[in-house]
Structure 1
Amino acid sequence: MAETHVLFVEDDDVIREATQLALERVGFTVTAVPDGLLGLEAFRADRPDIALLDVMVPGLDGVSLCRRIRDESTVPVIMLSARADAIDVVLGLEAGADDYVTKPFDGAVLVARIRAVLRRFGHATGASGETGDEEEQDGALVFGDVEIDTEGMEVRRAGEPVGLTPTEMRLLLEFSAAPGTVLSRDKLLERVWEYGWGGDTRVVDVHVQRLRTKIGQDRIETVRGFGYKLKA
């Protein structure tokens, strides 16, 4: 099996070198660069399996780099931030990041988060729960003008293909497995992001909003104080 290739963009020499060694020690291949422009070059040249991007790097900041990567690829992206600042977190997620980790971080925690994201991307299927009153046509789930091919992992809206990242697909599959059922943010964190402990629910909120822009703002309903549900 080929080793997982990680692109790591971090301008702090000590953090960059220590993290690279920690990732290589558990079997990852790592390309580590100190700024965003070099990160974009490395991404295009190497096509890594996952990108770790520090928010505050010179040349091209991490959020802008994430947007550039997302314009070209659905490769998973984890943002690294020196502070759990709401603006940093939300900007990174809105740019297309799948998750974020706050510095300073424990190497084992970072490895666990990387592996969780990679599992999600390698297995964008398996939403749990029973199906409800949705229509099923030729093996696809249909909700209004949204059609989900759960075998081909494709989504269409009004007949047109919808480009979802694997995280967005997993989120949609969780909703479609139980249409009309309210799913709490904590439950979605557990099922989609594999958080076995309390996580930052902003990750869920931003991804739901991104999903809404792609499948229709009124397709996923907010149930205040409880969570979200897919309209059957």
Structure 2
Amino acid sequence: MKKILIIEDDASIAEIERDFLEINGYEATAVADGVQGLQEASSGQYDLILLDLLLPNMDGLEICKRVRDVIDIPILMVTAKKDDVDKIRGLGLGANDYISKPFSLPELVARVKSHLAQYERLKSGNDNEGNIGSKSKELQIGQVKVNLLTRRVYVRKTEIELKNKEYELLVFLMSNPDIVFSKETLYDRIWGMEAYGDLKTIIVHINRLRDKIEKDPSNPVHIETV
């Protein structure tokens, strides 16, 4: 049974989220305080985090940043804010995706299920199509090399650190070289829920990848826009 951590200071929302997740076969724990949420999130006991942005004692962005320093599990931000800046900041700090209040409970479960499935596929060394397994343990294009067993990425022989979705996106693109993908297709393949997606997520992740793997991000040679 997958364990979900809910960090949400609104008790009624947290209770509804917890109950619906448990009905759908997950074990859910809810905490209302930012500091306590960080302690729980960093414990390594959970498979996914639902993280509200506005929390007492420590906000969701700070929690996201600190959690990413110690553990790599899916983080789904929950926000009532309409400002894209906060959403982009959260993605930039390592959140995998976000969901805006109000949202439907079936949508919430669909997001959770999709992110957990994607994470499991990555851990097993498979890409989103299931094409990369034990027969192919490395990918290399140009100066970028990925070890699929250890999930380590090297650029010009120097190891770089990628967040979960950055890694997943890079592996997908390297597994399908010289093919043009729309933003919609990339969202569907990596996040698994085209109907629910915000395409700004793709732009943010592509820009972050370019910053890390391109010698000149303003003039990319590995990830090009057509």
TM, length-normalised to structure 2: 0.86
- Return the offset for 1:180: 2.8
Query: In the TM superposition, what is the alpha-carbon distance from 1:72 to its structure 2 partner?
Result: 1.0
Higher strand share: 1
**Code of the aligned partner of 2:96:** D
In 1, distance between residues paired with 2:42 and 2:18?
A: 20
SS in 1 for 2:42: helix
- Could you tell me which residue of structure 2 aligns to residue 117 of structure 1? 115
Give the match for residue 141 of structure 1: 139
SS at match of 1:123: helix
Question: CA RMSD, aligned part only?
Answer: 2.1
List gaps (5 residues or longer) in structure 2. none
The answer to which of 168-177 and 106-115 deviates more is: 168-177
Q: Which deviates further from its counterpart, 116-125 or 191-200?
A: 191-200
Return the alpha-carbon distance in structure 1 between the equivalents of residues 110 and 128 of structure 2: 21
Match of 2:166 in 1: 168
State the 1:117 CA deviation: 0.3
Alignment counterpart, residue 213 of structure 1, candidates 200, 211, 214:
211
How much has 1:45 moved relative to structure 2?
3.2
2:34 pairs with 33, 36, 39, which one?
Answer: 36
User: What's the secondary structure of 2:58's corresponding residue?
Assistant: coil
Contact kept, 8 Å, 1:5 with 1:29, in 2: the verdict is yes
User: Could you tell me how far apart the structure 1 residues matched to 2:57 and 2:10 are?
Assistant: 14
- Gaps of at least 5 residues in structure 1 are 131-137, 224-232
1:46 deviates by 5.0
1:19 and 2:17 equivalent? yes
Question: Which residue of structure 2 lines up, in the alignment, with residue 226 of structure 1?
Answer: none
1:96 to 1:113, Cα distance in 2 relative to 1, 3 A: same
Amino acid at match of 2:26: F
Give the whole-Å Cα distance in 2 for the aligned partners of 1:113 and 1:210: 22
Aligned 1:64-143 pairs, distance under 5 A: 64-124=62-122, 125-128=126-129, 140-143=138-141
Q: How many residue pairs get matched?
A: 214
> Would the aligned equivalents of 1:52 and 1:77 in 2 still touch at CA under 8 Å?
yes
Identity among equivalent pairs (%): 35
1: CA distance, partners of 2:142 / 2:3: 40
Distance 1:129 1:30, change over 3 A: closer
Q: Is the 8 A contact 2:184 2:194 kept in 1?
A: no
How many angstroms apart in 2 are the aligned matches of 1:222 and 1:203? 16
- The match for 1:189 among 184, 187, 190 is 187
DSSP-derived class of the 2:113 partner: helix
The amino acid that maps onto 1:64 is E
Q: Cα deviations across residues 58-117 of structure 1 (Å, max 9, x unaligned)?
A: 111111110011111111100001133211211111111001001111111101100100
* 8 A contact 2:3–2:48 mirrored in 1: yes
Residue 44 of structure 1: CA displacement? 2.7
Q: Distance in 1 between matches of 2:146 and 2:72?
A: 18
SS state at 1:113 partner: helix
On the 8 A contact 1:6/1:30 being kept in 2, the answer is yes
Using the size of structure 1 for normalisation, the TM-score is 0.84
